[in-house]
């Protein structure tokens, strides 16, 4: 297969993730390699079925990372990135394949992050070194990245995310993680990205 899209995690069965793998003829791009479960909801641990689904998603993410060429981080919530201090239901940095630190990384910036998200950004920057590139507002080959857009409604307290557009030749794939379609200008950007970019 020369090109393809695989949805690895899709917010189902209580498993939080929106990890995707996009395959191009010369690249294998993994977006948002993270997974999480609600650790305690109403004083209860996750249901065993949720744990099993979460484990399956985590294994699929690790498999996708083993042969990836690029990784993208749209933002630094714990269900979108590997974590140094992961709970048993998240993806831990220690589980990552040896090849992870050699991937080309495209990242949302560390500007305006909460203390917890800043630590996650810093942990990944330490791990990846100069391979971690702030990508907001940039383009490189088939990849185009948005500037920061609201995580949900504008003015909310969830921070911002970076969207990714991938030109697959005969189609366009847009990863718009956690925008929730609540901000008009962000939705307009997604619609505009249907057309070829003119530079």
Predicted TM-score of the model (pTM): 0.93
**Neighbouring C-beta atoms of residue 71, cutoff 10 Å:** 26
Q: 32: closest CA among 62, 75, 93?
A: 75
The reported pLDDT for the residue numbered 196 is: 67
Encoded tokens for 177:
């993680």
State the DSSP string of 71-130.
EEES---TTTS-BTT--TTS-BGGGS-GGGGGSEEEE---TT--HHHHHHHHHHHHHHGG
* Phi/psi-derived region of residue 14, left when phi > 0, alpha when psi is between -120 and 50, beta in every other case: left
Encoded tokens for 52:
């099993």
Q: Where are the domains of the chain?
A: 4-192
* Element at 189 (helix H, strand E): helix 184-192
- The matching CATH number, chosen from 2.40.10, 1.10.20, 1.20.120, 3.60.15, for 4-192 is 3.60.15
Q: What is the spatial distance between Cα 49 and Cα 55, in angstroms, rounded to a whole number? A: 10
Contact predicate 86/39, CB 8 Å: no
**One pLDDT digit (tens) per residue for the chain, 199 residues:** 588 999 999 877 778 999 999 999 999 999 999 999 977 777 888 889 999 999 999 999 999 999 999 999 999 999 999 999 999 999 999 999 999 999 999 999 998 899 999 999 999 999 999 999 999 999 999 999 999 999 999 988 888 999 999 999 889 999 998 999 999 999 999 999 987 665 4
């Amino acid at each position: 297969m020369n090109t393809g899209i695989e949805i690895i995690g899709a917010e189902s069965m209580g498993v939080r993730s929106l990890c995707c793998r996009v395959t191009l003829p010369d690249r294998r791009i993994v977006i948002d390699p993270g997974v999480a479960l609600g650790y305690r909801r109403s004083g209860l641990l996750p249901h065993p079925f949720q744990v099993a689904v979460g484990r399956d998603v985590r294994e699929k993410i690790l498999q996708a990372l083993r042969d990836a060429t690029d990784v993208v981080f749209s933002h630094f919530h714990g269900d979108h990135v590997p974590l140094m201090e992961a709970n048993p239901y998240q993806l831990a940095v220690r589980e990552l394949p040896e090849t992870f630190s050699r991937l080309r990384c495209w990242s949302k910036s560390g500007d305006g992050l909460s203390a917890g998200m800043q630590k996650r950004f810093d942990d990944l920057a330490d791990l990846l070194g100069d391979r971690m590139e702030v990508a907001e507002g940039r383009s490189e080959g088939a990849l185009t990245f948005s500037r920061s857009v609201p995580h949900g409604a504008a003015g909310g307290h969830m921070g911002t995310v970076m969207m990714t557009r991938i030109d697959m030749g005969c189609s366009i794939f847009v990863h718009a993680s956690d925008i929730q379609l609540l901000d008009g200008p962000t939705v307009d950007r997604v619609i505009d990205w249907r057309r070829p970019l003119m530079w």
